[in-house]
Amino acid sequence: METLILPNGDKVPKLGLGTWGMGERRGDLSVEVKAIRHALDVGICLLDTAEMYGDGGAEEIIGLALKGIAQKPYIVSKVYPHNASSNGVLAACDRSLNRLGVERIDLYLLHWRGAIELQETIEGFERLVENGKIGAWGVSNMDASDMAEIWSTPGGVACQTNQVLYNLSRRWPEDRLIPEMAQRRVPVMAYSPLEQGRLAADSRLQEIADEAGMQPLDLALAWVVSQKDVFAIPKSVSPQRIDAFVQAVMKPLHSDLFAALEMAFPPPSLGAPIEML
Ligand SMILES: NC(=O)c1ccc[n+]([C@@H]2O[C@H](COP(=O)([O-])OP(=O)(O)OC[C@H]3O[C@@H](n4cnc5c(N)ncnc54)[C@H](OP(=O)(O)O)[C@@H]3O)[C@@H](O)[C@H]2O)c1
């Protein structure tokens, strides 16, 4: 699996598994645990979650899936903005660690920007790095001006990624965010790369995928992952769909296909505003 390098030197795979929607219903537990184990078996070794998902339930599902597994995947979790004070972030991280059943979260993100000063959150993150509870920290749902503010805040240059909504139908980050992050060699983590499955119904994508003999969502994922310095975290609880994620990112997109997608899904206009789900 192709990897990219975070500013701190960590090598991370370009494909991870998302978990939003997991841990919400008891009856789905075994399907979800099996899906995560299947993802690990087929080489997906990055899992994305958040204290918000299923009110901690998604982290618990990961904890169950990792029981008895010696080789832990790279774990990304997120703190709610209202828990992101310098002390609040320590307590929230402990709760997440307990639910996940691990000693360390590899990458801990501020889920979106709230009322608490960035400086406070960064101080909390730094303490978590110092005491070994997280490997590194980053942010989510930030636009280019937020990133500029983070980089000019003391300690802010330690930010490892910004997880944002990015897919064929949501190309807003290409206007300023991706180029400015690339200048600092900070990769973008693309969430909802399949537009939560809705891209399957897009006739432009269907037509291009039909010609290429591919499934539309596989093509959509391949497009995101083929962007430089971008990694993606699609979600599925279906082993077959997870297999398809892996297949989709294994070979580079042919330049003709790339060009057809660029034509069908135009790049953002200048000053495109942030989009989020
Ligand atoms: N930072 C943030 O604010 C933020 C926001 C949103 C998401 N995220 C993260 O990013 C991850 C991915 O985003 P997402 O879950 O919103 O959306 P996504 O990955 O774009 O799409 C996931 C949805 O598509 C369905 N799906 C997957 N493969 C499919 C296929 N071949 N055919 C039809 N449907 C298919 C899945 O259903 P099944 O499970 O039934 O297959 C699921 O409902 C999340 O799980 C979460 O970890 C972060």
- Residue 97 CA to residue 63 CA, distance in Å, equals 9
Q: Is residue 277 in a domain?
A: no
Token pair of 40 as six digits: 């690990």
Q: Is residue 273 in a domain?
A: no
Question: What integer best gives the mean pLDDT of the chain?
Answer: 97
- Considering the chain, what percentage of its residues have pLDDT values greater than 70? 100
Residue-wise pLDDT tens digits, 58-89: 999 999 999 999 999 999 999 999 999 999 99
Residue-wise pLDDT tens digits, 202-225: 999 999 999 999 999 999 999 999
Calculate how far, in angstroms, residue 28's C-alpha sits from the geometric centre of ligand 1. 16
Determine whether 246 is exposed, middle or buried from the number of CB atoms within 10 Å of its CB (0-12, 13-18, 19+): middle
Asked if 188 and 161 touch (Cβ cutoff 8 Å), the reply is yes
Q: Report the residue among 36, 53, 235 best suited for mutation to probe ligand 1: largest number of ligand atoms under 8 A from its CB.
A: 235
With bands split at pLDDT 50, 70 and 90, how would you rate the model's confidence at 1? confident
The tally of domains found in the chain comes to 1
CA nearest to 194, candidates 211, 209, 213: 209
Q: Is residue 269 in a domain?
A: no
Residue-wise pLDDT tens digits, 119-138: 999 999 999 999 999 999 99
Q: Is residue 275 in a domain?
A: no
- Eight-class DSSP state of 267: P
Q: Is residue 274 in a domain?
A: no
Q: Is the CB of 162 under 6 A from ligand 1?
A: no
pTM of the model: 0.98
Q: Is the CB of 20 under 6 A from ligand 1?
A: yes
Q: Is residue 271 in a domain?
A: no
Q: Is residue 130 in a domain?
A: yes
Q: Which domain holds residue 22?
A: 3-264
